[in-house]
Structure 1
Amino acid sequence: MLSRLAVQGFLRRALTPAKRLVSTWWRRQSPSRQDRFATLGPLLSVLLFLAAIVSAFWYLRNEEIEREAEAVKRDTEMAQQLIRSRLIDNEDQLILLQRDITTRAMDPLEFSQRAMTIARNRPEITHISWINQRRERRASVAAIGDQADTLMTLEGGDPSMPNGHASSEPEKAFQSARDRRLRVYSGPFPDANNTIVFQLQLPLSDRNGFGGVLVAEYAVEALVRYSVPSEVTNRHAMAVLDPREQVVASTVTPMPGRRLTRAPIYYEVPMAPAPGLVLRGQGYRTSIGLISNTLFWMVMALSVLTVWMLLGTWKHMRRRAHVQNALAAETNFRRAMENSMLTGMRAMDLETRISYVNPAFCAMTGFSETELIGRKPPFPYWPPDRYEENVRLLQQEMQGRSPAGGSEVKVMRKDGSIFDARMYVSPLIDPKGKQNGWMTSMTNITEAKRVRDQLSASHERFTTVLEGLDAAVSVLSVQQGELLFANRSYRLWFGADPKGHAMLAGSQLGLAAPKEPAEDTEEDVEDLDGMPAPHLTEIGADSREVFIAQLDMWFDVRARYLQWTDGRLAQMLIATDITARRHAEAQQQQQAEKAQVTSRLITMGEMASSVAHELNQPLTAISNYCNGMLSRVRSDNIRKEDLMAALEKTAKQAQRAGQIIHRIRAFVKKSEPQRQPAFAASIVEDSVELAGIELRRRNVQIHTYVAQRLPVMRVDPILIEQVLLNLLKNAAEAIDNAALPPSRRHIELRVVPKHTAELGANIEFSVTDMGPGLPEEVIERMYEAFFSTKADGLGIGLGLCRSIIESHQGRIRAENLYNGAAVVGCRFAFTIPVDIPRPEPSLPDKIPEKIHDKDEGTAHNTAATP
């Protein structure tokens, strides 16, 4: 009795602090929360009770499943051991028979008697056979003990017989036993009766080595039936599966037309030593499921009923407290909304007495609510130097004449600092529609005003910069065609007319008659229809050069699209006056043309002696023919036929001299560069004929090769001839100045098509000489203006050649030719780009008639001496 009282006293002392803590927490809660906890307590208890019941049922069900799975596993492993023991026992008997066949001569009759004894006591063995090394049956005994003539023979097509096919399971086991000389179990296969079987093959030895195999064939279903005891099969179903997971044997016979399905609880083990077979044990639950348990549903129904009653009680209590909480919630919401506003709110009655201020108003001015409520003008936040202005504004507010956009005023904080504010005043109307005061909202605009002033100053600076530019800047609305902005330079050149923008934006150079602005706008809208403005504004600036005929000026125009301040799509143009630059470029081009003509004249001047010698031959021949005819006419010793032949030869020599003069005149004639379709063969022929004069004088041979079916080039033929003539003349001078022997006094001119990833399709002209080559420092500087390795050279030849080739979008290069470390020549090559494919135009009239008859793919040699 004393111990019980002591325990009770101990428990009371231990629980007292917990009770005190719970009591304190409960008193701190609001009445609404106490009601909520009082309702949720029973509801939580019911839910916990329901969760405990469900957990208990679930635990019992899982425990039952685990017990059943453990039982299935145990029986399956037991069946596996029994099957394995039976196979090993049979294997021992067959090994004795194998030993007797190997160690002593045994005839088929004795074998049949021994095998019959083994098969009679082991019904799972369908037959035992003796097969020699040639896969021929020597003896075979069936399970019933009868000798079957068609059993295990190749003639009968028995699937249990090794037949030499690699896909046959008996053949695989036969080959394995022959190679390894060990016992082999075959994989499962259907026999002649369509029964799933597998074989045990034991190798036999004789004097020659491998003597055959001893075959024992097992029926899988019989093996399971006779090996697994009934107490195991009564508890759980046992099935054997092949490698394709098909059931080949089972202790449960399925209904006709149905397949055995896998049970919810199963356990699988390999049916060793037979490969490819799996033994599966299956079990089933004996009790009903959780969903089918009546007790479970009764507990669920009672729990739901209890929860529904508790929820109804809680809903009833909420309806009772709704009216009480609605007013408090509305008041708290309005108070919270007023307190969270950043705009200061002030209410005045009809006597201009402050009746309400929100916390934002107090935070702005620095005065507390008690310091402001009840005050009349002058208010404490009025700056002393602005009393009169504030009184005037207050009178306007009282008379209802306050501006709709608000009034900008100065407000003084309690600490004396002043900030800018904007005040909006409106009448304060009560629920009955009667005005009982004025409501004022105040916003601090100090930062906004500072930003606005900065933006205004920035805009002024930006406008000043744009107005001071020498380039014309204009912005035109794409949809309306309205000129949104134009700086001083634009107005100076085009005035305020958007036509100037349209002329600058024109796609054709030299736009003399611009379209009307409305037409341009419509075309722009059609071109940009469907394209989003952000996509257009991301496109980079488009640059072009435009000539304005009215001003006789050239402009470099850069255009891009942008979004104007009001969101409209606009086009901005920046036009820079480049008239002086274009004039300078034109003068530079004229000087370049003069330099080309000068270079050709210099070349002809250097070749003057050679040209004179070349012309002297036909002129001398003409003089000789004329003197001879004159002598024979005087002596009256000439026939008409001889006179005609002499006159024809004289005319031919005169024509030859005329052709020489015509080519020289065409070469040195000053003319504008003209791009026209030209053939490489024609250019090469004209250049070689002009250069032949110099080559024959210097005793240098030339070998030309022009590839067949070259595409037509669009070039200035005279300029390309000038480049070829310059390269040929330089090569001849290099060979002659080096005093090379006759074996090295020749030049090779090749014209072939090429295609590179960098330049695309082009035609390459190359001039190769066997001269001494060029030093590396000369190769690096030979294109510089006025640089020459000749004592009397001007240094404009190769530089001019490079300018001509680059003006045709081509490339020129020079390289030395090496034989080991020795320089054996130099090669100059330049390329002219062509368009492939393109139709070939008709041959120009200036191409000589003999070009049509000449094979362009053949090589031509021009001798150095006449």
Structure 2
Amino acid sequence: MWAVPLGLSLLFVLGVVIWAQRNAHEEREELRRSLISDALSVEAQLRTRLDLEQALLRTLAAQLATAPRSAASLQASPYVSAGFRRLWIGLTWLDARNRIVAHLDNPDMPRDPHLGSEEDAAQPGLSAHLVAPVSTRTDATDGEVAHPHDVNSEKLVARYLPAGLLKRGTPWWITHKYNVRLVDVSEHVLATLEQPDTRWPRRDRTAQQDFTYRVLVGPGLPGTYLELALREPPSSWANNVPLVLVGGFLVLIVWATWLLRQQVRQVLQAESAWRTEAAWRGAMEDSALVGLRARDAQGRLIYVNRTFCEMVGRPADELVGRLPPMPYWPSDALDEAEQRSQRNLAGLAPREGYEAHWVHADGRRVDVMVFESPLVDASGRHIGWMGSMIDITQRKQLEERERHQAEAMAHQARLTTLGEVASALAHQLNQPLTVIASYNSGVLRMLERAGFDNDTVLNALRRQGEQVAEAGRIVQRIRGFLTRRAPQRERCDLPATLHRAVKLLQRDWRHQPVRIDWALPDTLPDVLADPVLIEQVTLNLVRNAIDAGLGAQRQPVQLRIQARAEASLRHVCVCVEDNGPGLQARTIEELTAPFYSTKAEGMGMGLAICRSVIEAHRGKLDAGASSELGGACFRFTLPIWNEP
């Protein structure tokens, strides 16, 4: 025991040394990565600044293409003063033979480069330049732009100091952390922002090369490198080890002394507690894979395992020590749960177990199967009850799901029967509609031949014929849809289709306070759809909205039919809004379920058929309570017709 603290102390010290060395290595690697990242960032800023200056020079050259060839043209351009304010120290206009047409110097710079300011010049007379072609009528034909490398084109040459570029394009925190220089391939320094108080010791000058990085600036400064060198050496890991070692030794010595003192006390306490603990631990181990709880004779919880805590969603600290009623009992069945608990504490729990309903902390219901067994101590005295719980919630849900599936299959069978009946009905209606159309046409021709000139009667017969024809078309399309034939999709004028559907309903509400507002843009594209089926969808939605508003006694009933093109989705969206009572928290899945209806005499098939029609057109039917009129809003989408 005396050797244990010493060995642990040595291991601790060794671990601290390894950690410090590894931490220092990672810090040096991080500094290296940061150096490379900062160098690339500064280089990108310099390149961007050169690109901006080159763009400014090209803009100026384009402006001078039609300007007089004189220094006054240069002086009058605002781009010249902008370039002088930014970076340029001189601007020269050369003709095709490289003769000077005009030249301007930056008025804020000394004319003698040897007298330039220290912040903008690393070496006397050192400068770089940018070139842009000037296209004129003398060196380029109409519509032709001179190439920048064409020796016969005029050009603008802007001179600038690399030191000024380096100073203006380098953030202050970079110069505070690094020595920044511009060097060429011959190691000549073009510009520098190097600080004189570099803190690298002379013996570490070689190590400083590991924290120096160069990157090629780019086409703006060919053959020029940006060099960043770390100004301060990274801290050495060996500087903090002594303090860590001393603190570690002090902690370990105190801990070792306390460990030796507690050792004897723990051995004595463990011997007295082992027998009692081994007895009830053995009972808990028999059902370790299920939820476990131990209760004393009064019903107080004295132990719960992790599975039990997960089952009720509460931590062990909240449960241990609690007396009935328990927080996981259902609030609407507390009396029943209390009676069952008293029965179990009296030893009357069924040996085959019993089902119970609990409530999880998040509010969901949990179904469990509970088994109770006596809990005895080392002397054989009965001290409580040990219970094991099995979560049967998933089994109950599976049984419920199977029941719903059986109901859904029966429901599908009814739908199939209904489809067959509807198909037969459509087939039977087709012949009487044909006969009505024939009789109507015959009566109309007989009246016309007889010279009957009552326009009201004749127009009524013509309208009757049109409506019969329309009814025949509807029956044929519905029959085709019910027999699983694809809709007869064609190029469809959607506004005309919507107006035609609403017109069919106008006679039904002409004596009712109903107002319909239209919001159909003139530029609405045509859609690819079956116009008859789309009329039926619109007619159903409009009739539902009117019935809902009249049933809620809204005065007046207001509807809005609007459409908009969604070019990104290649669809047209149609919205039917009303000022009725709204959806009342019902979802589109519930509203379009077959045989579900909110009307007292409704069959519950209207919206279901509408949804099937829209989905057959590769669209989507949706509903929401976001209408600006205060009621419901039904939306459906149709694909845009494309030119073949």
TM-score (norm 2): 0.31
TM-score (norm 1): 0.24
- Name which one, 1 or 2, has greater alpha-carbon Rg: 1
